[in-house]
């Protein structure tokens, strides 16, 4: 996007670094690839010697490393090894895995179980995991059995020396946080190369640093959804040192008896969340935390979610199903970013 469309509301960071200008003679490059079951794209301003091939290898390598650690679709991954481990076994974790577990358990405590990284059995049961899709929702008995195997409080995690204990039958699912972590890891690798101006997108999660070659921000328009109430002007983000994560009930779901059951499961009930949230966008300096917040807020709904956002200073935008259509709800921190 070259510029925000007429009438758009623009969300800009409250503070910017002083030395923000793109480098003189910088090269405008693009790269893309496949990882984590999604596509990724990169737009960057770089210096000679850091062309698209180098940047593509850098991003792909970091994303592939996250997959090797945290994808339950990979039988050789660390998460798969943990999920297969016998009761009482301790698994040594790579540094990245330990960082994700630290954040995931913090979010589980904050959300009082509305975010839970231990619902792998439930994810499979509903057809959203490696076991593949299902034709109909599981029975209440199967849901109760899967819930009995889950529970973040059953985990024993030691940040040092980075290890996790399998209590028996528990299956981790980090899909609500790992993609955001992958974005952060790739962004850190680019910054370490000296690439300070880029926009990275991985399956709908974005991270922007610096400016475009023309000296303007990386403009990102939040997705417009079918059924939005008329008169709601579009929102455009100026991503500069910021990430945005999105969770929506329209992305992955099953249809049963005319009802759309979204992939966001409420760990407290074992069923898809039915709090009327069509979409949540969360901004933050870390894509990992923004990703986790999106998952949590989609589960608890707009009313409880806005209270949590107000208490913790989280910039979030909800699109909520109402009788009139999809209506917007903004947290105070998100409203503060809008350029009126």
pLDDT at residue 113 greater than cutoff 60 = yes
Q: How far, in Å, are 6, 104, 157, 202 from residue 117 at the CA level?
A: 42, 6, 12, 21
Count of the separate structural domains present in the chain: 3
66 and 136 share one domain: no
Span 16-63, pLDDT tens digits:
766 677 767 788 999 999 999 899 999 999 988 899 999 999 999 999
In a domain, 4, yes or no: no
The answer as to whether 34 is a domain residue is yes
Same domain flag for 324 and 302: yes
* Same domain membership, residue 253 and residue 234: yes
Is 223 within the bounds of a domain? yes
Query: Are residues 230 and 323 part of one domain?
Result: yes
> Do 287 and 335 belong to one domain?
yes
Nearest by Cα to 26 from 48, 42, 7, 10: 48
Residues 237 and 334 in one domain: yes
Domain range enclosing 201: 27-72+174-207
Is 14 part of a structural domain of the chain? no
Q: Which of 281, 277, 271, 329 is nearest to 300 (CA)?
A: 277
Half-sphere exposure of 59 (CA within 13 A, CB side): 29
Of the chain, the percentage scoring pLDDT greater than 90 comes to 71
pLDDT in tens, 71-88: 999 999 999 999 999 999
Task: For residues 63 and 95, state if they share a domain.
Answer: no
* Distance separating alpha carbons of residues 339 and 13, to the nearest angstrom: 10
Query: The CATH number of the domain where 101 resides is what?
Result: 1.10.3980.10
Asked whether residue 42 is assigned to any structural domain, the reply reads: yes
Phi, psi of 267 (to 5 degrees): -60, -15
- 64 assigned to some structural domain: yes
Residue 191: closest CA among 60, 96, 59, 29: 59
Say if residue 61 is in the same domain as residue 182: yes
Q: What is the CATH number of the domain that holds 221?
A: 3.10.520.10
Domain presence at residue 335: yes
What mean pLDDT value characterizes the chain?
Answer: 90
CA distance 284 to 279: 17
Which whole number is the average pLDDT over 229-250? 87
Q: Do 119 and 41 have their domain in common?
A: no
* Chain segment 138-173, per-residue pLDDT in tens: 899 999 999 999 999 999 999 889 999 999 999 999
Q: Is residue 48 part of a domain?
A: yes
Give how far the C-alpha of residue 265 lies from the chain's centroid of Cα atoms, to the nearest Å: 15
Average pLDDT over residues 104-116: 96
Residues 336 and 227 reside in one and the same domain: yes
List, as one string, the DSSP characters of 189-225. HHHHHT--EEEEEETTEEEEES--TTS--EEEEPPP-
Detail the DSSP E strand segments found in 19-147: 27-35, 38-46, 90-92
Looking at the fold, whether 178 and 54 belong to one and the same domain comes out as yes
What is the structure's pLDDT at 251?
59
Are 234 and 300 in a shared domain? yes
- Which residues are within 8 A (CB) of 208 and not within 5 positions of it... i.e. 6 or more apart? 198, 199, 200, 217, 218, 220, 237, 238, 239, 240, 241, 242, 243
């Amino acid at each position: 996007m070259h510029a925000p469309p007429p009438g758009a509301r623009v969300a800009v960071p409250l503070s910017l670094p002083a030395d923000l200008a793109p480098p003189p003679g910088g090269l405008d490059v693009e790269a893309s690839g496949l990882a984590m079951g999604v596509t990724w794209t990169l737009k960057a301003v770089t210096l000679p010697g850091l062309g698209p091939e180098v940047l593509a290898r850098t991003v792909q390598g970091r994303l592939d490393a996250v997959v090797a650690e945290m994808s339950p679709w990979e039988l050789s991954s660390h998460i798969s090894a943990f999920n297969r481990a016998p009761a009482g076994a301790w698994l040594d974790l790579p540094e990245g895995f330990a960082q994700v577990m630290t954040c995931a358990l913090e979010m589980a405590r904050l959300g009082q179980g509305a975010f839970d990284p231990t619902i792998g059995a439930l994810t499979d049961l509903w057809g959203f995991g490696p076991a593949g899709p299902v034709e109909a929702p599981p029975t209440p008995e199967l849901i109760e059995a899967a819930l009995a195997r889950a529970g973040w409080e059953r985990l024993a995690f030691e940040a040092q020396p980075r290890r996790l204990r399998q209590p028996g039958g528990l299956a981790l699912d980090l899909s609500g946080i790992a993609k955001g972590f992958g974005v952060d890891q790739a962004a850190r690798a680019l910054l370490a190369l000296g690439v300070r101006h880029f926009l990275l997108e991985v399956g709908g999660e974005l991270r922007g640093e610096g400016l475009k070659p023309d000296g303007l921000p990386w403009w990102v328009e939040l997705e417009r959804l079918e059924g939005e109430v008329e008169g709601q002007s579009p929102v455009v983000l100026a991503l500069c040192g910021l990430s945005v994560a999105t969770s929506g009930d329209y992305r992955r779901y099953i249809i049963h008896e005319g009802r759309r059951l979204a992939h966001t499961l409420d760990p407290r009930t074992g069923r898809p969340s039915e709090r009327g949230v069509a979409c949540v966008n969360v901004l933050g300096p870390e894509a990992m935390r923004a990703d986790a917040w999106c998952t949590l807020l989609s589960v608890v709904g707009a009313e409880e979610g806005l209270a949590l956002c107000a208490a913790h200073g989280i910039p979030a935008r909800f699109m909520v199903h109402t009788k009139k259509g999809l209506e917007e709800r903004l947290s105070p921190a998100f409203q503060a970013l809008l350029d009126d």
